[in-house]
Chain A
Amino acid sequence: GENVGLHLPTLSVQEGDNSIINCAYSNSASDYFIWYKQESGKGPQFIIDIRSNMDKRQGQRVTVLLNKTVKHLSLQIAATQPGDSAVYFCAEGSGNTGKLIFGQGTTLQVKP
């Protein structure tokens, strides 16, 4: 089963606001963490990743924060847009087989 879980199944935000999606993980030995975005009927798409030796990484409008002390991961989306509406999954992985363990997912709903 999954070892990575999400705190909230659904997040509703106003267009233009910032979104924060949270994730708790259980394996302190994981080497890296990845956020994926999945639109309805499609496969998940890579958003951003972070290695376990980092605590913050920024991309375009997205920031991932890693707190290893409490085994918590978050995805921040700035100025949320309608196109950001999707299910977001966090995943953790470690080197050898490249297997990823996915959380249950958080549905992000953006209100116009």
Chain B
Amino acid sequence: SQTIHQWPATLVQPVGSPLSLECTVEGTSNPNLYWYRQAAGRGLQLLFYSVGIGQISSEVPQNLSASRPQDRQFILSSKKLLLSDSGFYLCAWSRALGYTFGSGTRLTVV
């Protein structure tokens, strides 16, 4: 069966520090991969999606970047975090209809 792993679950980082969040998928090949951010009490905002290795599409201009070095690995990064980068970050994968989400990373920038 397919599983999606996302870590860490929580993260507290100072302003200006770098960020690396990792997401891996097991049990499937060539999935579409997505990073979403969810602000407190808000909906899900699509940040990046990828249809294959090295292929990244950015949905909104921001302080973040994404990479897909392997078929089932999706990484969200920042060189210098801002306070506004705080939020709940969700990775998801899909092959056909709909997504399967990871458990999320709660990022607090202080």
Listed in ascending order, the chain A residues whose CB lies under 8 Å from chain B are 1-2, 32, 34, 36, 41-46, 49, 89, 93, 97-105
Contacts and interface: CB of A to CB of B under 8 A. Distances in A.
A46 B46 CA distance: 17
Contact of B101 (A1, A43, A99, A104): A43
Contacts of A46: 98-100
B37 to A, nearest CB: 11
Interface residues of B, number: 25
B98 A42 contact: no
A104 B43 contact: yes
B99 A97 contact: no
Nearest 9 Cβ contacts at the A-B interface: A43-B101, A104-B43, A102-B44, A98-B94, A98-B32, A34-B98, A43-B104, A102-B43, A44-B101
B102 A104 contact: no
Given A44-B90, A98-B32, A105-B43, A32 B97 contact: yes
Contacts, number: 56
A97 B43 contact: no
Interface string B25-65: 00000001010100000111110010100000100000000
B103 A49 contact: no
Contacts of A105: 42-43
Contacts of A97: 32, 49, 51, 57
B72 interface: no
B106 interface: yes
Given A43-B104, A45-B101, A46-B98, A89 B44 contact: yes
A86 to B, nearest CB: 13
A111 B110 CA distance: 36
Contacts of B97: 32, 34, 49, 93
Contacts of A104: 42-43
A26 to B, nearest CB: 14
A36 B32 CA distance: 19
